Amino acid sequence: MEENHINNFALTFQNSMLSYCGQDCKRIPPALPKMYGAKVKCLDLSYNSIETLKGIEQFVRLEELILDNNEIGDGLAFPHLPHLKTLSLNNNQITDLEGLVQKISEHYPALTYLSLLSNKACPNQLSDVDKDDSDYQRYRYFVIYKLPTLRFLDSRRVSSCERREAGTRGEFMRVRRPADPAPPADRAERCPARALPLDLSALGKHKGAYGRCLYKYTGKHSEGNRFILNSDL
């Protein structure tokens, strides 16, 4: 998909919510902020190939940003979005948790909901069979300590007990960045991340961006199951 071209059949704008999914965009098409930048509060760019957020700062009212299933890595620069409350980065290529939360802390001071499932930075069994519940809980303590405004992390509400533990121990719960083994010489591309299963018993009742966006998906990928339910906030 050419970056300056917009597939109007894939675009949905309604009630301050803009969805543009499954178009293999490596960046935000410049026409989107030009046409909708002053109007959008919720932006869904899932199932693209986004590597940069250049232009996102033109969405001056943005409160919810969904970037699931893209190509976002550790080198991504986060433009300042003072009103952003929801950030979803599931199934990307983020490995450096400490670097990520530092950027979020600096640029998204109002953030209350963050989801990082199926990234190497999130030590969850969904993305790494070598991790267990204790690894994931240490990760939660560290993120909650670094981002004290969070009310939800991944699919779970931040509990008062977690917040107390994060205040006393979170600083010492850094999740080490995994070593990158040298790929085989004949490896042409990265292995795709495994899709997240739908586990209703593990879900929160978050009624955030997923439930409120209208999806008109015309890409070549299957959008799969959304895993956040609609009745928690």
* Separation between Cα atoms, residue 65 and residue 47, nearest integer Å: 13
Tokens 């409350």 locate to: 85
- Residue-wise pLDDT for 186-210, tens only, equals 433 444 443 333 333 433 444 444 4
Burial profile 41-79: b = 16 or more Cβ within 10 angstroms, e = fewer: bbbbbbbbebbebebbebbeebbbbbbbbbbbebebebe
User: In the predicted model, is pLDDT for residue 124 greater than 80?
Assistant: no
Domains annotated for the chain, with CATH where assigned, are: 8-178+188-212 (3.80.10.10)
* ∠ CA 199-204-206, rounded to 5°: 125
- Residue-wise pLDDT for 14-67, tens only, equals 999 999 999 999 999 999 999 999 999 999 999 999 999 999 999 999 999 999
More confident residue, 123 or 173: 123
More confident residue, 140 or 211: 140
